[in-house]
Amino acid sequence: MRDLNTATTAPTAQAQDLGEIRKLPILISLIIGAFFSILNETLLNIALPQLETALGVSASTLQWLATSYMLVIGVLIPASALLVQWFTTRQMFLGAMTLFAIGTLICGIAPNFSVLLIGRVLQASGAGLMLPVLMNTILVLYPPEKRGAAMGSIGLVIMFAPAIGPTLSGLVLQFAEWRWLFFLVLPFAIFSIIFAAIYLKNVTPITKPKVDVISIVLSTLGFGGIVFGFSSAGEGEATWSSPEVAIPLIVGAISLLLFVIRQIRSDEPLLDMRVFKFPMFAITTILLIIAMMTMFSTMLLLPFLMQGVFILTTFQAGLVLLPGGLLNGLISPITGRLFDRYGPRALVIPGTLALVIILWLFTRIDMTTSALNLIILHVLLMIAIAMIMMPAQTNGLNQLPPRLYPHGTAVLNTLQQISGAIGVALFISIMSSGQHAFLAGLPGEPTDVQKAEALLSGIHTAFLVGFGFAVGAFLLSLFIKRTKAPQE
């Protein structure tokens, strides 16, 4: 079989060669690598208190181990639309996994915080290159009528991996030190490289478009500044008016505006804004932003609730989140198959309606709520998100012509990371403001019970804002319809 990744490959020849390719081994190769790279987005969160003692640095400094991961991914993904047109599928995947494996090893043996941060940046670089390869390969390998099931498998990775991260790390930390969070991941990263070297084939065509350095700089400043600013807003005593928050946000917003203008005017844009001319893709983008904001912020709000109000240990809190994380992963492939059969409306509309109801129920939690009730609410929340994310994403991408696949996937992956950072910063900020407002109204020094009530009040306010976003998502979902993929 000849190499498909040449600039002169004709569409008919490509389609014929793709028909000869064994899809399952390629899908397995990509999923194994992507699962462990995305898992690391939340794997380290529960270990931060242990790292604070082990490395002798403050909690606000340690937050950059999580923030830098999201920041690097947010910066890299826009450029990935260019990279996947310059390098073969094998080159991109093996390069990304090698970077991730090297970063994982450096993290495991890191003698201090600085070296650990370098390792995290390398890990994130691999993850940032991984997601576009995964999405683009699925779009090329599977026809629109079969993409739902394949994208459901991706949902198993994108939503299940970060959901199970806190539980897995809590379990490891019960029996071993923090370094084992990396040592246990490293063999899987190496296995993924070996497996891909054997089975992964080149499936995406190479066109080698012009490299626009100015666009790369603007996208880096734009997306990086926004993620940096919002992430900083969730740290320590920083407020939205603090220089470390306001300056990156202003620089990011201006750079992003200039970036968009340049892409619209360019004949060979780094990130083609014409994807937003397709209405279902535009609707998908907004729905995914709300879903990712809800998922990542809830994953932080619930541990605060369980540890600060119900006084559960980190491991117990992780166990409460486990059923929802597991069910979310198991249900994503099912929703993919249902999408293939019934289309997006049968899943996305009920999913957003369920999201509205569940977030409202979260605002009714009180001091007497049982752990079982929390488990049920979290399980229902993760099912609702699974009904929204992959079906909406598949439907939006299906409307794009093949030439816009790299740009569409880059846009969605970038905005998912940015919306996750924004959601975390926004909801934690709202929670803190509500907590402080409650305490300010109390006479004298608050008791432990009053502090728990203050935290609960802040969490209620945050979930109430989330409820408002969910109502908007439900109204938007009413306009969604099944798409047909153009072939030009």
Residues 208-218 have pLDDT tens digits of 767 778 888 88
Q: Cα(378)–Cα(325) distance, rounded to whole angstroms?
A: 9
Residue environment code for 420-450, b if the CB has 16+ CB neighbours within 10 A, otherwise e: bbbbbbbbbbbbbebbeebbeeeeeeeeeee
Both 71 and 188 in one domain: the answer is yes
Both 450 and 314 in one domain: the answer is yes
Identify the pLDDT of residue 8.
34
Identify the pLDDT of residue 103.
93
Residue 187 domain-assigned (yes or no): yes
Query: Quick one: average pLDDT of 87-106?
Result: 87
Residue 286 domain-assigned (yes or no): yes
Identify the pLDDT of residue 358.
93
| pLDDT tens string 15-31 | 335 555 666 777 777 78
Both 149 and 247 in one domain: the answer is no
Both 152 and 214 in one domain: the answer is no
Select the more confidently predicted residue: 269 or 117.
Answer: 117
Residue 11 domain-assigned (yes or no): yes
Instruction: With cut-offs at 50, 70 and 90, classify the pLDDT of residue 181.
Output: confident
Both 153 and 234 in one domain: the answer is no
Q: Domain boundary residue among 267, 292, 307? A: 267
Q: Report whether pLDDT(79) > 60.
A: yes
Both 195 and 237 in one domain: the answer is no
Identify the pLDDT of residue 198.
83
What's the domain count of the chain? Answer: 3
Residue 138 contacts residue 31 (beta carbons within 8 Å): no
Task: Read off the DSSP letter of residue 102.
Answer: H
Q: Report whether pLDDT(360) > 70.
A: yes
Q: Report whether pLDDT(455) > 80.
A: yes
Q: Report whether pLDDT(419) > 90.
A: no
Tokens of 226: 């926004």
Both 262 and 295 in one domain: the answer is no
Residue 89 domain-assigned (yes or no): yes
Instruction: With cut-offs at 50, 70 and 90, classify the pLDDT of residue 367.
Output: confident
Q: Report whether pLDDT(438) > 60.
A: yes
Tokens of 179: 């370094």
Calculate the CA 280 to chain-centre distance. 21
Identify the pLDDT of residue 158.
66
Select the more confidently predicted residue: 38 or 365.
Answer: 365
Q: Measured between alpha carbons, how far is residue 19 from residues 22, 109, 297 in Å?
A: 8, 45, 42
CA atoms within 13 A on the CB side of 53: 5
Identify the pLDDT of residue 15.
39
Q: Domain boundary residue among 182, 209, 236? A: 209
Identify the pLDDT of residue 16.
38
Both 248 and 282 in one domain: the answer is no
Both 253 and 349 in one domain: the answer is no
Q: What is the DSSP string of 405-464?
A: HHHHHHHHHHHHHHHHHHHHHHHHHHHHHHHHHHHHTSSSSPPHHHHHHHHHHHHHHHHH
Closest CA to 335 of 145, 148, 138: 148
Q: Cα(180)–Cα(109) distance, rounded to whole angstroms?
A: 10
Q: What percent of the chain has pLDDT over 90?
A: 10
Residue 272 domain-assigned (yes or no): no
Structural domain including 116 reads 1-209
Identify the pLDDT of residue 39.
79
Q: 3-state DSSP: the chain helix, strand, coil percent, rounded to 5?
A: 80, 0, 20
Report which residue type is found at 484: K
pTM above 0.75, yes or no: no
Residue 483 domain-assigned (yes or no): yes
Identify the pLDDT of residue 163.
67
Question: What angle (nearest 5°) sits at the alpha carbon of residue 92, between those of residues 9 and 420?
Answer: 120
Instruction: With cut-offs at 50, 70 and 90, classify the pLDDT of residue 10.
Output: very low
Task: Read off the DSSP letter of residue 276.
Answer: G
Both 138 and 85 in one domain: the answer is yes
Instruction: With cut-offs at 50, 70 and 90, classify the pLDDT of residue 59.
Output: low
How confident is the prediction for the chain on average, in pLDDT? 78
Instruction: With cut-offs at 50, 70 and 90, classify the pLDDT of residue 235.
Output: low
Q: Report whether pLDDT(248) > 70.
A: yes
Both 128 and 193 in one domain: the answer is yes
Q: Report whether pLDDT(5) > 60.
A: no
Both 108 and 180 in one domain: the answer is yes
Identify the pLDDT of residue 313.
72
Residue 370 contacts residue 255 (beta carbons within 8 Å): no
Q: Domain boundary residue among 267, 287, 311? A: 267
Element (H, E) at 63: none
Task: Read off the DSSP letter of residue 146.
Answer: G
Residue 353 domain-assigned (yes or no): yes
Closest CA to 347 of 360, 332, 357, 362: 332
CATH assignment of the domain containing 142: 1.20.1250.20
Identify the pLDDT of residue 13.
37
Tokens of 296: 């990542």
Residue 305 domain-assigned (yes or no): yes
Q: Cα(31)–Cα(464) distance, rounded to whole angstroms?
A: 35
Tokens of 54: 């082990």
Q: Cα(102)–Cα(110) distance, rounded to whole angstroms?
A: 12
